[in-house]
Structure 1
Amino acid sequence: MRIAPAAGLLLVALCELALPAFGQDASTVRAQTTASSAITQAGREEILSTVVTGFTPYLLSENSRVVVIDFPSLREQARMFGRVVLFVERHGAPKTRVMTQSEVQQWLEQHAQRIETLTVGNNFRASQLARFFNTARLQDVALSGDEQQLRDWLLQAGLLRPVDTTLVASEPETVIITLPQVSAVPGCVACTVKDAHRKVILEHELSHAHFSTDAHYRDYVMSFWSGMASQASGGKFAHFLRKRGYNADDQELLANEMQAFLMHTPDVKMFAASAVGMTDAELDAIRRQFREGWEAQQRAER
């Protein structure tokens, strides 16, 4: 097991780079085209085996368009990404404005949630994060300290860049995924993350990164999801995802989550056939259909 550098050292090193003025044209900001190379590269096994005590980003060795951010626990992860989760994917939360902190607290109370229990892992395209920050700025909604840290780091790492008064995703667009360490949060039983959970969380989130960075796979998943819509299995999966709080109006989000749960959540404690109202045999049949269809498409494309 490897111990990562002391908490925040990598972030501090990156933040020592000169942060450009928000409205500065990107063509004049040399650091932002090269800073991402300063992110430590690591493969999934190295990430899983490394103990961290603070915000720790990695550039995934297997896919250079994927950045993995490791957090000490769900608490730190939620403080940085909780409001983004509500803005991007939670059903019933506004999608055209950023909620204030007091509105977030009201929403959580109404839905019997804590900010830490919204998600166990996250995946966002850089453009989604840019939209969150741009919307907050236009509304004059204050960012939390953790959200400011995220925005500043994304700029320093070159994953976002300023264009006039807005932020845009750098090309090629990066996918940012997050996961917590094996950990516990005092007073929150549901926030406990065990070693087996951590492995499944990373596999689940990496499948989202595959969806976002591989157009052929994304097209296949969307087609498969569209085909499921006319079948009972599609209705059951959609109901399952709505119950988990995903935005039912976002078909790409639902398709992305379907493939991640169906094919990349191999722990019945985290995803079981009964959760979607199916038997094990029924769910296995859908998995087989998905796998065989994808393999056939790959053969056809060779």
Structure 2
Amino acid sequence: MPLPLPPTKRVIETASVEQLLASRSPSGDWQLARLQGNEAVLVIEFPNLLEQGRAFNRAAAFIEKKGSARDRVLTDLELAELVNKSGDSTETFYFGHDYTAEQLRQFFAQSSKQELVLNPQELRLRVLLQEAKLLQEGAVETKSSAEPPATSQQVVISFTALQVDDPATKADEGVDALRRESTLRHELSHGEFFTRPAYQKQSWNFWQKKLNEAERAMFRRMLAGMDYDPDNEELMANETQALLMHTPDRRAFDAGSLGVTPAQLQDLRARFERSR
């Protein structure tokens, strides 16, 4: 089972999806595990969305958020403005995260280059990743190109514990059992994309060959509406597979999200399965 993250280095245990979903942290602390069956995927469960957002939102903006800078890391004020512009809060900017080791190495390297003061959660995350040997030089680079990289690398994904919505806020911060499981499975599929060459090839084959240009534009438009960078081709292929095949919570994705009928959505899913 995943264990609360201690202040000192220790061996990271493995956990299955079922164990990750069954876990409850009595201390309300971060929990850490490597995915059973694919230990290249490091999973962090945060006690709530606020803690997760403080740890990852700035990295998210740097790596994949539309309208954010790609050549520098945002300051606290710039990040707050981006979050507000998207109509979100620190809690709801993302419900889960997924990044390659190289993407996070670049984020922390750029932060250091700018001499940017990171918050306590970001500093803790950096130590955690250093201890897990994810921030070393020489990791396989992930680029936004029309072709998938030839090799895999380590990946970090996150999700949160259950939490109730705050009725005093406009955003929905509620994480019930369905949203929690859907977020975990969605993020784990990104881990598979980055670390399993066969699954990555299937996802690219679906994106490039099984969809026509109008259908790709449909997905691109939906993802841009979610503030993902539509010019990042790898991100488009990766988010498409995760939403289409691994997001059971219909509040996050359904036929209406894409602007198709339920029958058309089933056809798209069948085509993805045939893309192997």
Both structures adopt the same fold (TM-score exceeding 0.5): yes
Q: Which runs of 5+ in 1 are unaligned?
A: 15-34, 162-166, 295-302
1:1-302 equivalences in 2 (<5 Å) = 10-14=5-9, 38-52=11-25, 53-161=28-136, 169=139, 173-184=153-164, 186=166, 187-188=168-169, 189-227=171-209, 230-294=212-276
**Structure 1 counterpart SS, 2:158:** strand
**Structure 1 counterpart SS, 2:173:** strand
Provide closer, same or farther for how the CA distance between residues 114 and 228 of structure 1 changes in structure 2, counting only shifts above 3 A: farther
C-alpha distance in 1 between matches for 2:247 and 2:85: 29
Structure 1, 223-232 or 51-60: larger mean CA deviation: 223-232
Give the letter aligned to residue 109 of structure 1: N
C-alpha distance in 2 between matches for 1:247 and 1:80: 21
**Structure 1 counterpart SS, 2:124:** helix
Provide closer, same or farther for how the CA distance between residues 168 and 142 of structure 1 changes in structure 2, counting only shifts above 3 A: farther
Provide closer, same or farther for how the CA distance between residues 41 and 227 of structure 1 changes in structure 2, counting only shifts above 3 A: same
TM-score (norm. length: structure 2): 0.89
Q: Is this contact kept in 1: 2:86–2:227, CA < 8 A?
A: no
Greater radius of gyration (CA): 1
Give the letter aligned to residue 51 of structure 1: R
Give the letter aligned to residue 260 of structure 2: M
Give the letter aligned to residue 45 of structure 1: E
C-alpha distance in 1 between matches for 2:111 and 2:211: 35
Higher helix share: 1
TM-score (norm. length: structure 1): 0.82
Q: Is this contact kept in 2: 1:66–1:209, CA < 8 A?
A: yes
Provide closer, same or farther for how the CA distance between residues 283 and 172 of structure 1 changes in structure 2, counting only shifts above 3 A: closer
C-alpha distance in 2 between matches for 1:269 and 1:110: 22
C-alpha distance in 2 between matches for 1:238 and 1:207: 19
Give the letter aligned to residue 141 of structure 1: L
Report how far residue 270 of structure 1 moved: 2.0
C-alpha distance in 2 between matches for 1:112 and 1:59: 33
Give the letter aligned to residue 175 of structure 1: V
Provide closer, same or farther for how the CA distance between residues 265 and 96 of structure 1 changes in structure 2, counting only shifts above 3 A: same
Structure 1, 225-234 or 275-284: larger mean CA deviation: 225-234
Report how far residue 168 of structure 1 moved: 5.3
Residue-by-residue CA offset, 1:55-82 (whole Å, 9 max, x unaligned): 1110111211011100111111101001
C-alpha distance in 1 between matches for 2:135 and 2:152: 11
Report how far residue 229 of structure 1 moved: 5.8
C-alpha distance in 1 between matches for 2:49 and 2:89: 11
**Structure 2 counterpart SS, 1:206:** helix
Report how far residue 262 of structure 1 moved: 0.7
C-alpha distance in 2 between matches for 1:13 and 1:241: 39
C-alpha distance in 2 between matches for 1:185 and 1:132: 31
Provide closer, same or farther for how the CA distance between residues 112 and 234 of structure 1 changes in structure 2, counting only shifts above 3 A: same
C-alpha distance in 1 between matches for 2:246 and 2:152: 25
| Matched residue, 2:144 | none
Q: Is this contact kept in 1: 2:152–2:195, CA < 8 A?
A: no
Q: Is this contact kept in 2: 1:72–1:181, CA < 8 A?
A: yes
Higher strand share: 1
**Structure 2 counterpart SS, 1:193:** coil
C-alpha distance in 1 between matches for 2:209 and 2:152: 30
Q: How many residues are paired up?
A: 262
C-alpha distance in 2 between matches for 1:154 and 1:279: 43
